[in-house]
Amino acid sequence: MFAKRVRPGWPEEVTALIDVLSALTPCRWLDVACGTGFLTQHLQGEVVALDQAPAMIDIVAARLPSARTVCGDAVPLPFENASFDRVLTSHFYGHLVAGERDAFLAEARRVAHGLIVIDSALRDDVEPEEWQQRTLNDGSQHQVYKRYFTGRQLAAELGGGTILHDGHWFVAVET
């Protein structure tokens, strides 16, 4: 959907985000809504990649043969308390409506003591919150809820934390 869009500075921000993730201390990771594992592959340590879509799990399993892959939901997370050191989620939190956010944060904090949320940055050309019509490659259309954040807004919403990246395209906060 976005491959043909002109996004000045996008490649540089992707590189900066990868550098942030690559520099984090190795640990036991859970990547929730991992998608294709594009960012997952830059985590150091023991990695479990979770996504609800079997097709995404197949892609991440091929991309990261050393990672454990799990097909499942984010709420509830199918893991025991304190199973991980950190949870990573990228471009998932911004799709959660109000009640879902609290439930997800409770689950993330139940399974790990650390959380990193990466999502879309608030820019002048987007509304802070909107419903979007998305058309997939197969032609199917879906309404998707989407939020955009500044680093400070996301950190405040997560109850505090360290802003790891606050760019034009992405924000990343660690709690």
Query: Residue 159 sits in a domain of what CATH number?
Result: 3.40.50.150
Q: How many domains does the chain have?
A: 1
Residue 5 domain-assigned (yes or no)? no
Range of the domain at 97: 10-174
**In tens digits, what is the pLDDT along the chain, a chain of 175 residues?**
556 778 899 999 999 999 999 999 999 999 999 999 999 999 999 999 999 999 999 999 999 999 999 999 999 999 999 999 999 999 999 999 999 999 999 999 999 999 999 999 999 999 999 999 988 888 899 999 999 999 999 999 999 999 999 999 999 999 9
User: For residue 139, what are its two tokens?
Assistant: 């032609």
What's the pTM? 0.94
Query: Does residue 4 belong to any structural domain of this protein?
Result: no
The verdict on residue 2 lying in a domain is no
Report yes or no on 3 lying in a domain: no
Query: What are the φ/ψ torsions at residue 151 (nearest 5 degrees)?
Result: -60, -45
The C-alpha angle 128, 50, 64, rounded to 5 degrees, equals 110
List the one residue out of 136, 106, 164 whose CA is nearest residue 1. 136
CB 103 within 8 A of CB 73: no
